[in-house]
């Protein structure tokens, strides 16, 4: 199951420059976007290509350079970015793979790069997608940038992802915007994060192995339209509650299959299904109760207390410029790096 197969038609092309400008005029502050870091890192240069570049150019950081070149134009537009990294409490299973703890070595160079270009970041207690969605729900950011539609399941209502040209290259000036409200209008029944979670659990998605065997996307969509079923599903916490809900699920499936019209095209063989073990409670908790920061922790985030992008000083430039030159654009002199940093400084001062 790919969520974009359902949401794709609701996406609209947006000019990031125009969006940033309109938002500043309307809200009186810059557009804030929380970035799901893992997607920017892995939806990037292939691993083999990274290894080759590093062999040919010792000290280079090819993936981080791609991200840097994506960030700088957005900073010049006055957009406030926040990078969110996965934490130790993230789910142990995703996309058919068992995941271990995230090694600091895989993200250390990007975190250092962000520090030098003054872009705020922090490590979520669990899944970064869920944390980004929480930030957007609370109005601390205006949108989430992720390539994963599962973010809607965590409560996100405004999601953007990369737009690409005919050759597959990312467009730096544009993005594709998805709004949960428009998704609800197109896909009847998917009108809450709980209904999206139920759909994913039924047909199988990132956090669950295979879903309910024999349940196709069409049957699942009809099941999400049953409000009582979705509501009961959203309150499952124990095996006892899951057992009671399974009876409701079976009754709902029977009701749909007995419909004179729907029954002609929809099928479900209960005998061949895994109904007795459905749903997986661990996956369910991941979907409905992800590990995220508490309100107190969010209120203490430093970039919410003052300037979003911390200003460079003469002292910080003495550290940042040599480090950046060592890993990116080695031919660029100090004056060139200062020119890169200037737009962010000017934008911050104008906002005052």
Q: Read off the pLDDT of residues 135-167 as tens digits, 9 standing for 90 and up.
A: 999 999 999 999 888 899 999 999 999 887 777
pLDDT at res. 352: 62
Q: Is the pLDDT confidence value at 209 over 60? A: yes
Binning pLDDT at 50, 70 and 90, where does residue 102 land? low
Q: How many CA atoms lie within 13 A of 287 on its CB side?
A: 30
pLDDT at res. 95: 55
Q: Is the pLDDT confidence value at 97 over 70? A: no
- Distance (Å, whole) CA 231 – CA 191: 12
| Whole-Å CA distances, 126 to 85, 96, 102, 131, 294 | 9, 18, 11, 7, 12
b/e map of 203-238 (b: 16 or more CB within 10 Å)?
A: bbbbbbeebbebbbeebbbbbbbbeebbebbbebee
CB 223 within 8 A of CB 229: yes
Q: Which has more confidence, 163 or 351?
A: 163
CATH of 4-185+291-311+340-351, one of 3.40.50.1010, 3.40.50.1980, 3.40.50.720, 3.40.50.2300: 3.40.50.1010
pLDDT at res. 349: 73
Q: Is the pLDDT confidence value at 96 over 60? A: no
Q: pTM value? A: 0.90
- Distance (Å, whole) CA 351 – CA 309: 12
Q: Any residues with CB less than 8 A from the CB of 44 and at least 6 apart, and which? A: 63, 66, 67
- Distance (Å, whole) CA 5 – CA 53: 35
Tell me what the mean pLDDT of segment 120-132 comes to: 95
Nearest-10 Cα torsion for 43, 49, 53, 55 = 130
Q: What are the residue boundaries of the structural domains of the chain, listed by start?
A: 4-185+291-311+340-351, 189-279
Cross-strand partners of 32? 80
Tell me what the mean pLDDT of segment 268-282 comes to: 89
Cross-strand partners of 174? 15
pLDDT at res. 101: 54
Separation of CA 19 from chain center = 20
- Distance (Å, whole) CA 83 – CA 36: 6
Binning pLDDT at 50, 70 and 90, where does residue 311 land? confident
Q: Is the pLDDT confidence value at 195 over 70? A: yes
Binning pLDDT at 50, 70 and 90, where does residue 1 land? low
Q: Any residues with CB less than 8 A from the CB of 238 and at least 6 apart, and which? A: 281
Binning pLDDT at 50, 70 and 90, where does residue 104 land? low
- State pLDDT tens for residues 31-44: 999 999 998 888 78
State the sign of the Cα–Cα–Cα–Cα dihedral 298, 38, 307, 324. positive
- Distance (Å, whole) CA 123 – CA 287: 19
Binning pLDDT at 50, 70 and 90, where does residue 109 land? very high
Cross-strand partners of 143? 33
């Amino acid at each position: 199951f790919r969520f974009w197969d359902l949401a794709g038609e609701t996406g609209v092309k947006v000019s990031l420059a125009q969006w940033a400008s309109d938002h500043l005029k309307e809200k009186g502050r810059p557009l804030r976007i929380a970035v799901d870091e893992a997607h920017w890192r892995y939806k990037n240069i292939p691993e083999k290509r990274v290894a080759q570049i590093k062999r040919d150019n010792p000290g280079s950081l090819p993936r981080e350079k791609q991200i840097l070149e994506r960030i700088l134009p957005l900073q010049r537009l006055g957009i406030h970015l926040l990078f969110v990294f996965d934490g130790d409490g993230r789910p142990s299973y995703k996309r058919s793979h068992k995941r271990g703890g995230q090694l600091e070595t895989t993200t250390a160079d990007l975190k250092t790069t962000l520090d030098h270009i003054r872009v705020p970041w922090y490590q979520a207690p669990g899944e970064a997608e869920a944390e980004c969605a929480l930030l957007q729900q609370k109005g601390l950011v205006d949108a989430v940038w992720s390539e994963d539609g599962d973010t809607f399941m965590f409560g996100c209502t405004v999601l953007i992802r990369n737009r690409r040209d005919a050759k597959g290259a990312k467009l730096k000036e544009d993005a594709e915007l998805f709004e949960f409200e428009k998704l609800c209008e197109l896909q009847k029944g998917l009108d809450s994060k709980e209904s999206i979670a139920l759909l994913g659990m039924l047909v199988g998605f990132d956090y669950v192995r295979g879903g309910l065997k024999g349940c196709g996307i069409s049957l699942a969509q009809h099941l999400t339209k049953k409000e009582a079923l979705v509501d009961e599903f959203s309150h499952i916490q124990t095996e006892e509650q899951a057992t009671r809900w399974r009876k409701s699920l079976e009754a709902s499936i029977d009701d749909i299959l007995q419909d004179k019209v729907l029954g002609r095209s929809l099928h479900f063989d209960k005998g061949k299904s895994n109904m007795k073990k459905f749903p997986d409670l661990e996956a369910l908790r991941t979907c409905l109760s992800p590990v995220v920061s508490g309100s107190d922790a969010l209120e203490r985030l430093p970039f919410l207390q003052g300037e979003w992008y911390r200003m460079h000083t003469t002292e910080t430039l003495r550290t940042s410029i040599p480090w950046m030159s060592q890993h990116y654009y080695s031919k660029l002199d100090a004056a060139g790096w200062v020119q890169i940093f200037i737009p962010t400084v000017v934008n911050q001062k104008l906002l005052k």
